[in-house]
Amino acid sequence: MINFRGKTGFLSAVILVIGLFFVVRNVQAVATSSIRGAAWWGNLGYLYFDCLDNVAGDRLDMPGNLYAPPEPYGFHFFATPCTTIFNHVSLDDNGDFSGTAWNYSKGLVTFNATTTPPDSYSFKTHCPNTCNLSNNCLACYNESDQKVYGWARVVNDGTWIRLDSATTTPVALQNWDYQIHSILPGHGVMPGDFIGYATSSIGDLSFNCASEGGGVGTCGGRNYKVYVNSLRVGHLSAPNWSYSQACTGTALKAVLKWYVDSGTQAGYEVVVNTVNNFDTATGNYVCWSGVKTPSVATQYIIPNSDPHCGTLSYNANYYWWIRLYASDGNGGYTPTAWYQYGAVDGHNGANDEETDSNPDSNIKTFTTYAHEFPTPLYSWSPYDIIVGTSTDFTSTSRYYTSAAPATAQDCTGGACAYLWTTTDAGATISNPTNATTAIVFYHSTGTLLTLRVTDPDNYVCSNSTSLNINYNLPIWREVKAQ
């Protein structure tokens, strides 16, 4: 745990050096993630996934002492959690569950395989990693369809609990793209939340009160869910800098974006490099954001004013890494493992996205543009455009090359390709793909003229102008009154 209470001065400097002296060679995501919360088991009460959440067992007046959860709670004598009963369920980056949950009536429920499940592992074809008795796997999560497959088992009496029920809404886990692919639309299920039902011969288990019809902010008087508590990164994308953005600004820019897969972000740290390793202690990086806490930002833009972030180069391939920070509840912050863009290590990497139109063959890198984008410019004559008369338009556009990526050159001698268009549907354009053209307009209001320029590397930019087109003045003749 790194405590960042101080923002300036000697203490901050010491903390920064201590917390960030590392060398990364082979970045791996978090090995396992903790599952918290409780599922509702009808008359049997709650099934708790972590002893930190247990209501009964570590509270002396609970069943079989006094009351059954969830209500009434009565007057409690608290005992330290995870002492009389210890249970904890985890989900690793291969998608495998492990550990035990606990119910005050049935006791421990295991996600570890000690015997072959009723379907003889027919579910394992849905698991992203090997799941069988030999590797102690009894249940898995498939991120591609966001569903949970397999079984859990009551330790005391051997009752099987099926997680991928065919008769109810099966258990599912919301990942990072909840706004695009929600596992329970309209119910505000956030990344890391489970929904659905597990089935057993002694009653079904609801993993989220929202699964029972509760909407956003309401669960019918009973508020519960099972969720992944650990902070995880679920999706990275770069450079998120489009042709239109490069045309209106600089081509030498990147926006690194990330999405949280579970947990609550309280800060972040980004490193960018041209080689597949970095060392912030010796300066072996192109850009290092430093630790940004507190922060809920989900993107990092280069260039910027951070002291350890250098400028990008044209036509260069960049690796990048990120780790997030969670609040420790005591004013400090705890980092996740480092996540590498494009690295298929567990749940991270397969969903990462290179968003530009200039990718290289390495899925772990994004590529900057080779040079600046063309600048479409033009003039016309006569300047006052008249409806029904011909007006000459001439391109004065500029373009750039890899040899001189920031030096503008004239688009003469056939270096650029052109396309002239207008919103005047009746207009006639004599040479729409030439550097010069004559246009006759037939409408006087709301007319846009656009010149699209394509350079030799097929980078495309457009420039539109709203034209003021007039009617020619009528010829007046004075007539003497009779």
Express each pLDDT in 126-167 by its tens digit: 999 999 999 999 999 999 999 999 999 999 999 999 999 888
> Are 318 and 219 found together in one domain?
no
- In terms of residue numbers, what domain contains 387? 378-470
Question: For residue 295, with 0-12 CB atoms within 10 Å meaning exposed, 13-18 middle and 19 or more buried, which class applies?
Answer: middle
**Residue 127 in contact with residue 143, Cβ under 8 Å?**
no
**Residue 339 in contact with residue 279, Cβ under 8 Å?**
no
CATH of the domain at 458: 2.60.40.10
pLDDT of residue 5 exceeding 80: no
Residue 45 is assigned to a structural domain of this protein: yes
Q: Prior bond to 382 cis, omega within 30? A: yes
Q: Which amino acid type is present at position 197?
A: Y
Q: Report how far residue 372's alpha carbon sits from residue 375's, in angstroms, rounded to the nearest whole number.
A: 9
Residue 348 is assigned to a structural domain of this protein: yes
pLDDT of residue 224 exceeding 60: yes
- As a whole number, mean pLDDT of residues 356-376 equals 88
Q: Which amino acid type is present at position 145?
A: D
pLDDT of residue 249 exceeding 70: yes
Written as six digits, the tokens of 19 are 């917390």
> Are 204 and 352 found together in one domain?
no
3-state secondary structure 420-453: EEECCCCCEECCCCCCEEEEECCCCCCEEEEEEE
> Are 301 and 188 found together in one domain?
no
Per-residue pLDDT reduced to its tens digit, 252-291: 999 999 999 999 999 999 999 999 999 999 999 999 999 9
Residue 478 is assigned to a structural domain of this protein: no
pLDDT of residue 305 exceeding 80: yes
**pLDDT for the residue numbered 464:** 96
Match 């044209």 to its residue by tokens.
314
State whether residue 9 is helix, strand or coil.
helix
Q: Report how far residue 327's alpha carbon sits from residue 229's, in angstroms, rounded to the nearest whole number.
A: 12
**pLDDT for the residue numbered 215:** 52
State whether residue 22 is helix, strand or coil.
coil
Question: For residue 333, with 0-12 CB atoms within 10 Å meaning exposed, 13-18 middle and 19 or more buried, which class applies?
Answer: buried
**pLDDT for the residue numbered 353:** 86
> Are 212 and 285 found together in one domain?
no
- As a whole number, mean pLDDT of residues 55-60 equals 55
With bands split at pLDDT 50, 70 and 90, how would you rate the model's confidence at 54? confident
Q: Which amino acid type is present at position 162?
A: R
Q: Of the candidates 205, 227, 249, which is a domain's last residue? A: 227
**pLDDT for the residue numbered 17:** 32
> Are 332 and 215 found together in one domain?
no
Residue 447 is assigned to a structural domain of this protein: yes
Q: Report how far residue 411's alpha carbon sits from residue 406's, in angstroms, rounded to the nearest whole number.
A: 15
Per-residue pLDDT reduced to its tens digit, 430-459: 999 999 999 999 987 779 999 999 999 999
**pLDDT for the residue numbered 26:** 37
Q: Of the candidates 227, 259, 283, which is a domain's last residue? A: 227
> Are 73 and 126 found together in one domain?
yes
- As a whole number, mean pLDDT of residues 91-95 equals 92
Per-residue pLDDT reduced to its tens digit, 384-422: 999 999 999 999 999 999 999 999 999 998 999 999 999
Residue 64 is assigned to a structural domain of this protein: yes
> Are 437 and 458 found together in one domain?
yes
Written as six digits, the tokens of 275 are 């080689």
Number of domains the chain contains: 3
> Are 260 and 218 found together in one domain?
no
Q: Of the candidates 171, 192, 227, which is a domain's last residue? A: 227
Low-confidence winner among 96-110, 229-243, 297-311, 468-482 (lowest mean pLDDT): 468-482
pLDDT of residue 344 exceeding 70: no
- As a whole number, mean pLDDT of residues 61-90 equals 63
Match 């690295």 to its residue by tokens.
343
- Give the global pTM: 0.82
> Are 413 and 356 found together in one domain?
no
Element (H, E) at 11: helix 9-20
Nearest to 424 by CA among 467, 391, 457, 383: 467
Q: Report how far residue 406's alpha carbon sits from residue 195's, in angstroms, rounded to the nearest whole number.
A: 53
Mean of the per-residue pLDDT values of the chain: 86
pLDDT of residue 6 exceeding 90: no
With bands split at pLDDT 50, 70 and 90, how would you rate the model's confidence at 223? confident
